[in-house]
Amino acid sequence: MKKVTVRFTNNSKKRFYQIFIDSGLIKKITSIINVNSYSKIFVITDHNVKKLYHDKILSSLPNKVITIVLPSGEKEKNIVNIQKIWAAMHAAQCDRKSLIINLGGGVISDMGGFAASTFMRGVNFINIPTTLLSQVDASVGGKTGIDFDGIKNLIGTFNQPQAVIADIQTLTTLPKREFLSGFAEIIKHGLIRDKKYFEKITSKSPFEFTQDEIKDIILKSCHIKADIIKNDETENNSRRILNFGHTIGHAIESHCLETSLPLLHGEAISIGMLAEAEISHYMNLLTVSDLKLIRKVLINAELPVFASGLQTEKIIKTINSDKKTEKGIVNFTLLSGIGNALFNQHVPIDLISKVIESITKKSL
């Protein structure tokens, strides 16, 4: 079993938790977490994951488990489902000695973490991520939340889990498109922090990596994320580099949710990363050859790089209401080379429009 320690400072106190990565870990939860120290255990999951992994998790937990099942998908990451979780927790007499286990992808860890943060001002939770995207990114770092008023993650908290248990066996049932969506965040980790890692993960098609190689990739991505958040848990400065691709990507993701062909999170981030790499190039930070390489690796990883049909003005309006906007200035994370990112970059509005125009008009 591989482990990553996530260190952070909370209220001036140094804290940490661990990410456990291996095959078959769902069956071994009790050897990782002392479940008997909790008064009650709540499992929050979605319909798809329940069918696949609920029996497995129940067989490895004591009897006192209450399961809360939500519909799946980004559209469900909303206040209505949070109310359902709160109501179920209340009905089952959840108290501050209970434990919440979030079993599922990033939608479940974002919502379950938010419900756990807010119910009785905070109940402990652990994440058991079952998608590649949540194993390398969403389940780590303590951002929880929901979408609101058409804006991604507008409502949320910073609250760290007690532990993250990534059972890589769950990836065997993941649809291919979801697996590739997770690869977008992996590529992001290479682009913002580590050129060698970027070269390794783009050396072949995502499906050509063996299970052991995927385990190492999850480990490395978790190390990169842990290293970035350790000095800036609540994203006041350096953690912002993790937002590369997300300023434009989140706006695209929100607008696509309203169409008949919604993009997955990683797919929208792929388009956002290429757009923000283009901005980096126009701002003389990134060479044209690096820009071309980024386009090539995203296409090779079968990720989209254009969002045809969306309206430029609507996307720009959404970008302006992004959480990263302060005093009317949009803060972008840009690349100054492969493996190097710069945060708090101010981009002229006409350059943003030009790039959005080009990604919404083009098609492959």
Ligand X SMILES: NC(=O)c1ccc[n+]([C@@H]2O[C@H](COP(=O)([O-])OP(=O)(O)OC[C@H]3O[C@@H](n4cnc5c(N)ncnc54)[C@H](O)[C@@H]3O)[C@@H](O)[C@H]2O)c1
Does an H or E element contain 335, and which? strand 329-337
Residue of 239, 240, 265, 281 interacting with ligand X (CB under 6 A): 265
Q: Among residues 149, 60, 57, 34, which one has the least CA distance to residue 108?
A: 57
108 lies in the binding site for ligand X (CB under 6 A): yes
Only segment of 16-24, 166-174, 212-220, 314-322 that touches ligand X (CB under 6 A):
166-174
Count of residues engaged in binding ligand X, rule: CB under 6 A:
30
The answer to whether 98 and 88 have CB atoms below 8 angstroms apart is: no
Residue of 25, 26, 43, 138 interacting with ligand X (CB under 6 A): 138
- Residue 95 CB, shortest distance to ligand X, in Å, is 26
135 lies in the binding site for ligand X (CB under 6 A): no
Smaller CB separation from ligand X, 188 or 281: 188
Q: Which residues of 36-48 are buried (b: 16+ CB within 10 A; e: fewer)?
A: eebebbbbbbbeb
Dihedral sign (CA 338, 344, 347, 349) = positive
Q: Among residues 260, 227, 246, which one has the least CA distance to residue 153?
A: 246
Question: Distance from CA of residue 333 to its chain's centroid?
Answer: 17
Q: How far is CA 327 from CA 162, 168, 234, in A?
A: 35, 43, 19
233 lies in the binding site for ligand X (CB under 6 A): no
For the annotated binding site for NAD(+), the residues are: 72-77, 106-110, 130-131, 143, 152, 170-173
Residue of 29, 101, 118, 141 interacting with ligand X (CB under 6 A): 141
235 lies in the binding site for ligand X (CB under 6 A): no
Smaller CB separation from ligand X, 117 or 131: 131
- Residue 170 CB, shortest distance to ligand X, in Å, is 4
- Residue 292 CB, shortest distance to ligand X, in Å, is 27
| Rounded distance between C-alpha atoms, residue 228 and residue 230, angstroms | 6
134 lies in the binding site for ligand X (CB under 6 A): yes
Q: How far is CA 265 from CA 29, 289, 303, in A?
A: 28, 27, 11
The site for ligand X (CB under 6 A) is made up of 46, 48-49, 52, 72-74, 77, 104-108, 110, 130-131, 133-134, 137-138, 141, 143, 152-153, 170, 173-174, 178, 181, 265
